[in-house]
Chain A
Amino acid sequence: MRRRALLLASPLLLLARPAAADLIFVLNSGDSSILVLDAATRQEVRRIPALREVHHLVMHPNGRDLLIADSGGNELLIVDPMTGEPRRRERVSNPYHLAFSPDGQHLVVCSLRRNQVDIYQASDLTLLARLRTPDKPSHMAFRPDSKIVYVTLQGTGTVIAISMETREPLWETPVGREPAGIIWHNDRLIVGIMGSDHFAVLNPVTKEIERQIPIGRGAHTIFAQPDGKALWATSRVQSRLAEIDPATLDVRRIIEISGGPDCITFEPDGHLWVTLRWAGRIARVDPRTGEYETNRVGRSPHGIFFQTVRAEQV
């Protein structure tokens, strides 16, 4: 009788269990590990050993696989974003920055140290083309129709446009000294000019730089807030986080944050999580007040990713 009651009550018990915590994935590029944190308590949930040097990560269009690029280890580590459990590994030549085309058909991988851009078939990671490029292909952005990928070339101070149809370079244009992060925004490319103090707004049709967005020395990466109400940019030398108006591209405000802010991820409630490369920490930033708290995570943390778990389970 008691057993039957327990069986009947079990679905209710399952519903009543504590909600699974949201997760933060932090790639410690300097100590070859991937730290998975409970976003609420900021306690370590798991630390996944990587082979050598993990820098960037991207969610597969299927929403079920998180791809982590280990450049020195020549592999992609594919993990379950809900648990941090490693699923499998793929041998890939020196993957540094990586992104899926918006149509989900292709995965493009930049190799900063081998001067190559690889185009893979997203479904099975078959290498379709390897383009030899000038010095240090760094970050990339796609045109929304997935027909062109734009890659910053850190060593030559240019952006190169590559056709995803012919898999050949279309053009290359100078943007400034040591360009790094790049995004597509309102038919323009916004490029972080690391050797300078601004982001350059590049018109990909005319290949002209239409304006500069000054944010501080060592302008590095830029991310769009998921609700589209702001762009957030980092400067690694002056150690700043800048909020940019997405319509006017004016800087709304600057948050001074020491430690070399680099990559950013967003929490659904609006908080930003930022890796602080030189401090070995991450910061959780309140965008309303500009206040932040930091946590030690590992050596030279670079890529970061927030995974909502609670909402997924409702």
Chain B
Amino acid sequence: MTETFTRFLDDITGWLFEHVVQPAMYALGLMDYAEDALDWVQFGLFGVFSILVVYVVCRPLEAWRPVEPVTDRRAIRTDILYTLLTRLGVLPLIAFVLLNSLSAWWAGTVADSGFVPPTLETLIPGLRDHPVWAFLLYAVVLDFGEYWRHRFQHRFAWWWALHSIHHAQRQMTFWTDDRNHILDEILAALWFGTIALLIGVPPGQFPLLVLVMRLAESLSHANVRLSFGSVGERLVVSPRFHRLHHGILSVAEMGKNYAVLFPVWDWIFGTADFRRDVFPRTGDPEGPEALATGGWLRQQWVGLKRMAGAIAGRSGA
């Protein structure tokens, strides 16, 4: 199944690239970026596919056992826009263009220092012959990194000013997963880049596994009364587990359940709440209304202003 899925994706990617994207890049004099463009085509196509899969799985679940009725479709539409911009590669592409020079400079600086970044496989040679296990170990280590990034997003006022966009949604659905400030996304990329410098980046040949992980992340935001049981709740982040993190009494530093994929980190660091019958209302009562119901652009602008205010030491900016 994995191979069939990968081949299917590769065949469409190859055809699109060869017959549409590459000729256009040639005409525009952009062949220098041809191989990057191939990655983007793959990213965008995978994004389309993952949105479809997430929709097919999560939408029926939300219709089956919703936690709350849908009263604000406009807020959901804004989340859909966030998802499209992120998963179809528009925002990552902007970040690539903006950060490409910085990234080249950084890579050169690292190379000049004589440091050759390791990979988990060089640190644990046994993983070389087992790429799937290597991938899963990367997922665990990176998820650990995500747990702490998430803790810091809630800990530092300036970072919370950005991250509160994600928490402001009162009508949380599976679309809410990608509701993030652009600057917050860039910080996430830098965070990831730093970890990658220490352990390398995960192998990229397992789109099906990435798809499953994305599905889990989207599902954790879904408006569905679903817990994974006493054991499952401790293994993978469930909609119940993550809804508690989005609860109105769980904002900023009062947060619980920070884990993105594996709740074990909350367990270890004492931030877990495993009450299986709690499905609180979501949102940030202290945040400005624009973050909850404003459009995408407005939310980005207000987030930026709030961050500047937090840095300048003004409360309630």
* A residues lining the B interface (CB < 8 Å): 30-33, 49, 51-52, 72-75, 91-94, 111, 113-116, 130, 132, 135-136, 154-155, 177-178, 194-195, 217-218, 236-237, 239, 258-260, 278-280, 296, 299-300
| Interface of chain B residues 47 through 88 with chain A (CB within 8 A) | none
Chain B, residues 188-202, CB within 8 Å of chain A (1/0): the string is 000000000000110
Does B97 touch A at the CB level, under 8 Å? Answer: no
- Interchain nearest-CB distance for B232 vs A (Å): 32
A91-B122, A94-B111 known; A178-B205 Cβ under 8 A: no
Of all chain A residues, the one with the shortest Cβ separation from B101 is A135
Of all chain A residues, the one with the shortest Cβ separation from B117 is A74
Q: What is the predominant secondary structure among interface residues of chain B facing chain A?
A: helix
Report how far A115 CA is from B201 CA in the complex, Å.
20
Q: What is the predominant secondary structure among interface residues of chain A facing chain B?
A: loop
- Are B17 and A278 interface neighbours, CB within 8 A? yes
Report how far A62 CA is from B32 CA in the complex, Å.
35
- Interchain nearest-CB distance for A96 vs B (Å): 11
| Interface of chain B residues 100 through 145 with chain A (CB within 8 A) | 104, 107-108, 110-112, 116-119, 121-122, 128-129, 131
20 contacts between A and B (CB under 8 A): A31-B204, A32-B203, A33-B205, A49-B129, A51-B121, A51-B128, A52-B200, A73-B121, A92-B116, A93-B111, A93-B116, A111-B111, A114-B108, A130-B111, A132-B108, A132-B112, A195-B29, A195-B31, A217-B26, A218-B22
Of all chain A residues, the one with the shortest Cβ separation from B26 is A237
Of all chain B residues, the one with the shortest Cβ separation from A217 is B26
A74-B116, A91-B116 known; A32-B204 Cβ under 8 A: yes
Selected from B6, B107, B112, B129, the residue in CB contact (under 8 A) with A299 is: B6
* B residues lining the A interface (CB < 8 Å): 6-7, 10-11, 13-15, 17-18, 22-23, 26, 29, 31-32, 34, 38, 104, 107-108, 110-112, 116-119, 121-122, 128-129, 131, 200-201, 203-205
- Are A73 and B26 interface neighbours, CB within 8 A? no
A91: chain B residues at CB < 8 Å are 116, 122
Report how far A236 CA is from B129 CA in the complex, Å.
33
B107: chain A residues at CB < 8 Å are 94, 113-115
A236: chain B residues at CB < 8 Å are 22, 34
Of all chain B residues, the one with the shortest Cβ separation from A92 is B116
- Are A116 and B108 interface neighbours, CB within 8 A? yes
A91-B116, A278-B17 known; A52-B204 Cβ under 8 A: yes
- Interchain nearest-CB distance for B13 vs A (Å): 8
- Interchain nearest-CB distance for A8 vs B (Å): 42
B17: chain A residues at CB < 8 Å are 260, 278
Report how far A218 CA is from B108 CA in the complex, Å.
28
- Are A280 and B10 interface neighbours, CB within 8 A? yes
- Interchain nearest-CB distance for A154 vs B (Å): 6
- Are B117 and A154 interface neighbours, CB within 8 A? no
Of all chain B residues, the one with the shortest Cβ separation from A296 is B7
A51-B121, A195-B29 known; A258-B104 Cβ under 8 A: no
Report how far A96 CA is from B18 CA in the complex, Å.
23
Report how far A113 CA is from B13 CA in the complex, Å.
23
B23: chain A residues at CB < 8 Å are 217, 237
6 closest Cβ contacts across the A-B interface?
A: A31-B205, A278-B14, A278-B18, A195-B31, A178-B31, A114-B107
